[in-house]
Structure 1
Amino acid sequence: MSQNNEMHPRNPYRNKPPDFKALAVEYPEFRKFCQYVSNGKVTFDFKKDAAVRCLTQTLLKKDFNLDVEIPPGHLVPRVPQKLNYCLLIDDLLKANKLTKNVIGIDIGTGTSCIHALIGARQFNWKFIATDGDEKSVRVAHENVAKNGLSSSICVVHVNPDVKTVLMDVVNTIPDTDYAFCMCNPPFFEKGNGDDKFCEDISSSTETYSNRVASEFRTAPHSATFASSAELFVDGGEVAFVNRIIDDSVLLRDRINISESTQQ
């Protein structure tokens, strides 16, 4: 929740970060991860996967009326940063006079499907949300359905092994033009993220975590857990984004704006 001054001017979290004490009073599940200290303030355990997941779910429910399931061991999106990304996209759309019947593509939507859910709920955009992981697609589809947004968001499973990122999706839905595509890509090539993430032996699934200190860094303030598919990709993020660029050039008459972020 840091770097508030760098957030988008229209991001409500910029000037009003989450009030953990108020959230603890209103949401009993969130309260389980809080402790009241002697000065009357509340401390929150950012190093637990369940706690960070509950924070995201609580903010999505309170501020966007979104009920979102995020399975343990999968990436937990930070709501202020994800809203920030959508606001930047909104600026680009307005600058290019693309404000009516907006349809976007979210590449690697993840289990939370957060870009598409916020985009549909907050900005009335429609989405094709893609992912190469079958479990992520299934959970994302369930999240879309239970929030009543199936008419606005179509979740699509794509082959993670093909070189193209956009071509197959766009070509299977003819006669549709897209205002933008957005992406928060996997960051690392397999083996190159070992100084930041290691396999979490406490998990029953193939889960990676940054919560343990290493010779390269101290343990982080806020833990991040993720599956292999969410962290690693052949060639790392540079190669992945280059694939998006290559597809965007070929599809320049179908997609107006292509964007990627590390948020």
Structure 2
Amino acid sequence: MHKNNRHKQGYNFANLIKANPALSAFIIKNKFNGQDTIDFSDPLAVKALNYSLLKSDYNITFWDIPNGYLCPAIPGRVDYIHHLHELLANTTRTLPSEVSANIPANKPITVLDIGTGASCIYPILGQREYGWHFVASDIDPVSIKIAKQIISSDKSLSKNINCRLQSNSNNIFNGIIASDEFYHLTVCNPPFHRSLTEASQGTTRKLKNLNKDKLNSTYVKSAKTAASPPEKILNFGGQKAELWCPGGELAFISNMINESKVYQKQVLWFTCLVSKKDHLSKLKLTLKKAHAKQIKVINMAQGHKISRFIAWSFYQVN
């Protein structure tokens, strides 16, 4: 993890339970080392852990998302934020005049989150860690509604985070970035899968990796009514727009790159997570064809998991 990640030493469950006593109901013993943990294949346990972390470490007193919506792991998400801060810090020390001319004097760091989800996790973490201002966009009206509820519960968040609904699912930046706006960064956790079937298969693999015993018979019922059809568990949740899109991750990021050309003078660094390393070569080629002047791949590590994001700029910033 990044050196500034406050979760790099693991979870302090004693402190987390103090912040959120309800978490204690989900604590189990790791059968290999006897230490406290949770069942990461249980979506309710993951949700309780997330709220505990946000309350204990980020002073977020209200955070709740509906069942079935993406419940992101906090340590990995804040790692992205810390690496973005480092990227920006290394850039803004020596900004060329053409960049400085586009940034209003004393303008706070402003970030655009593409596909913020109901959790609104990147704006929350970026605001708490570095005081950044955010525009949080999504194509799902329910996600925007829930994100607004979370933000409105906190004075600092409501002052610094603005939610916007993307009304056209074919657009990414168009309809969100106004003509008079400038962003230092864009962030995005893109839909990875190419179809609902592929997303379901990915969930099955994830559950197997989490040593879920009766995989085929494990279901969770809707909280609204016991008569509702059972839904196969998604431990970290996820709606259609959060998990898949036509063409999957590669197509989504390629579209993002092509659309970014229109806003090349209004954004210092465009960035996006890339789940599949094999996609990098094609994305770099697309960026070169788009005449991006700077292309970077930043690797991140959380335990044994390696993740990365790609960053590009149409400014000669370094």
Amino acid at match of 1:180: L
- CA pair 203-256 structure 1, distance change in 2 beyond 3 A: farther
Instruction: Out of 20-29 and 236-245, give the one that drifted further.
Output: 20-29
Question: Aligned partners of 1:208 and 1:180: how far apart in 2?
Answer: 36
Q: Give the match for residue 115 of structure 1.
A: 122
Identical columns (%): 28
- CA pair 156-25 structure 1, distance change in 2 beyond 3 A: closer
TM-aligned CA deviation for residue 160 of structure 1: 4.5
Q: For 1:239-250, what aligned pairs fall within 5 Å after superposition?
A: 239-250=251-262
Task: Tell me which structure has the larger Cα radius of gyration.
Answer: 2
Q: For 1:100-111, what aligned pairs fall within 5 Å after superposition?
A: 101-111=108-118
The answer on whether the counterparts of 2:220 and 2:233 sit within 8 Å (CA) in structure 1 is no
Q: Could you tell me which of 193, 199, 211 is aligned with 1:193?
A: 199
Instruction: Out of 87-96 and 39-48, give the one that drifted further.
Output: 39-48
Q: For 1:28-39, what aligned pairs fall within 5 Å after superposition?
A: 28-35=21-28
- CA pair 258-187 structure 1, distance change in 2 beyond 3 A: same
Instruction: Give a deviation string over 1:176-219, Cα, whole Å, max 9, x none.
Output: 11101110011111133342136986444896645xxxxxxxxx
Q: Give the match for residue 83 of structure 1.
A: 78
- CA pair 201-35 structure 1, distance change in 2 beyond 3 A: closer
User: TM-score, length-normalised on structure 2?
Assistant: 0.69
Tell me the secondary structure at the aligned position of residue 196 of structure 1: helix
Question: Aligned partners of 1:146 and 1:208: how far apart in 2?
Answer: 32
The answer on whether the counterparts of 1:128 and 1:154 sit within 8 Å (CA) in structure 2 is yes
- CA pair 24-120 structure 1, distance change in 2 beyond 3 A: closer
TM-aligned CA deviation for residue 227 of structure 1: 1.8
User: TM-score, length-normalised on structure 1?
Assistant: 0.83
Q: Could you tell me which of 216, 232, 238 is aligned with 2:244?
A: 232
The answer on whether the counterparts of 2:185 and 2:269 sit within 8 Å (CA) in structure 1 is yes
Question: Aligned partners of 2:127 and 2:111: how far apart in 1?
Answer: 10
Q: What's the RMSD between the two structures over aligned residues?
A: 2.6
Tell me the secondary structure at the aligned position of residue 105 of structure 1: strand
Q: Give the match for residue 20 of structure 1.
A: 13
Instruction: Out of 41-50 and 73-82, give the one that drifted further.
Output: 41-50
Amino acid at match of 1:181: T
Q: Which consecutive residues of structure 1, in runs of 5 or more, have no partner in the other structure? A: 1-6, 211-222
- CA pair 253-207 structure 1, distance change in 2 beyond 3 A: farther
Q: Give the match for residue 58 of structure 1.
A: 52
Tell me the secondary structure at the aligned position of residue 68 of structure 2: coil
Tell me the secondary structure at the aligned position of residue 61 of structure 1: helix
Tell me the secondary structure at the aligned position of residue 259 of structure 1: strand
Q: Give the match for residue 147 of structure 1.
A: 154
The answer on whether the counterparts of 1:208 and 1:227 sit within 8 Å (CA) in structure 2 is no
The answer on whether the counterparts of 2:19 and 2:55 sit within 8 Å (CA) in structure 1 is no
